[in-house]
Amino acid sequence: MSVNDPIADFLTRIRNAHMAKQETVEIPHSKMKAEIARILREEGYVQDVSERGSGVERRLVIALKYAPDGSRGIAGLRRMSRPGRRVYRNQTSIPRVLDGLGVAILSTSQGILTDHQARRRGVGGEVLCFVY
């Protein structure tokens, strides 16, 4: 199956797995998806990220996080920049998600960064998604 927007597919798979209360979700691997998953783990939105398989069969396995009362670790995922409408911001106009409670993930010249890291390094880039 061909997917036009692999990042949107990545976010949708995580959202759907959370709604179905699954423990893990498997996603086809790419370097960008692996970096976004790494940021989700570092920011505490998912429990763990690992890889399975090799070559074309390589997949990301993401262990989802739930609170003791069963509430989800990720309240919302929003794709900002899409293939049909790219969204770029310089370092002074990087959006703040829920007044700093959420995270914007950007693709910059220095790699995939959170909004906090991009502001600290003084770089802008393409706003991939919001996580809160």
H/E segment holding residue 77: strand 77-79
Question: Which domains does the chain possess?
Answer: 6-64 (3.30.1370.30), 77-131 (3.30.1490.10)
The pLDDT, as a whole number, for residue 2 is: 62
Can you point out the beta strands (E) in 1-132?
A: 24-28, 46-52, 59-64, 77-79, 88-89, 103-108, 111-114, 125-131
pLDDT single digits (tens) 36-65: 999 999 999 999 999 999 989 999 999 999
pLDDT single digits (tens) 68-110: 998 898 999 999 999 999 999 999 999 999 998 999 999 999 9
| DSSP classification of residue 41 | H
Rg (CA), the chain: 15
pLDDT single digits (tens) 1-48: 567 999 999 999 999 999 999 999 999 999 999 999 999 999 999 999
